[in-house]
Amino acid sequence: MLEYKLENGKTIKLKGNKFEVDVLNNGDLVITVVNNYMVSPSQTMNDLFDETPQYLKKDTHIKERVVKLSDVEKATSDHDEITEIGKKVFFKFMKTWNTGFGDKNAEQPDRAKLLNDTMSDYSLHVIRYVKSVGGLTHATMHVFPTDDYSTKEYRTQVRLLAENVSQVASILCPPLSELLEYPFLLNTTHH
């Protein structure tokens, strides 16, 4: 197996038969597969029992496939697309979750159904987004921006929202609940 690190941090792993890999001046990868054990119809019985290694013979049945590095990098950019979808879904999810939150007299959405419906379709997307911004509380802060992120009232409100999501998710979607940050300072002013 060969393993290559790309500039964007992703890894390419090549498994299989013998092969050679070259990078051309224009950045294209050339993957040459050498099938040492292919038998062509023109081979004779003497060829089949010849113990000379195939790589020392002229005809090694080489196949080449050119893969553009830009195509490889595009495939790894799917992570960014998934994260962006997760952001949109999480924003909509949290705005609905916040409806009537903390107000006992207000109409409440069915939060368990909301979480179940959202995560059954977009769990990978939402989890990638939440991880990308540092956790559930930070993701909630992105949904509800403010002029001053250091006020105790604001930090307490977004933390309570994130904790509430985490509590319900601990039963319905544990991987999301595990993204609640510990510790999270409510009071950021030091005396």
Report whether 138 contacts 94 (CB < 8 A). no
pLDDT of residue 63: 52
pLDDT of residue 33: 60
Write the pLDDT tens digit of every residue in 108-154: 999 999 999 999 999 999 999 999 999 999 999 999 999 988 888 99
Global pTM value:
0.59
pLDDT of residue 37: 46
Distance in Å from the first CA to the final CA of the chain: 57
CA angle 69, 70, 75 (to 5 degrees): 100
Q: Which residues of the chain have pLDDT under 50?
A: 36-41
Secondary element (H or E) of residue 3:
strand 2-5
Closest by Cα among 140, 138, 154 to 97: 140
pLDDT of residue 81: 87
Domain boundaries, the chain: 2-76, 78-177
pLDDT of residue 182: 86
Provide the token pair at 176. Answer: 């999301």
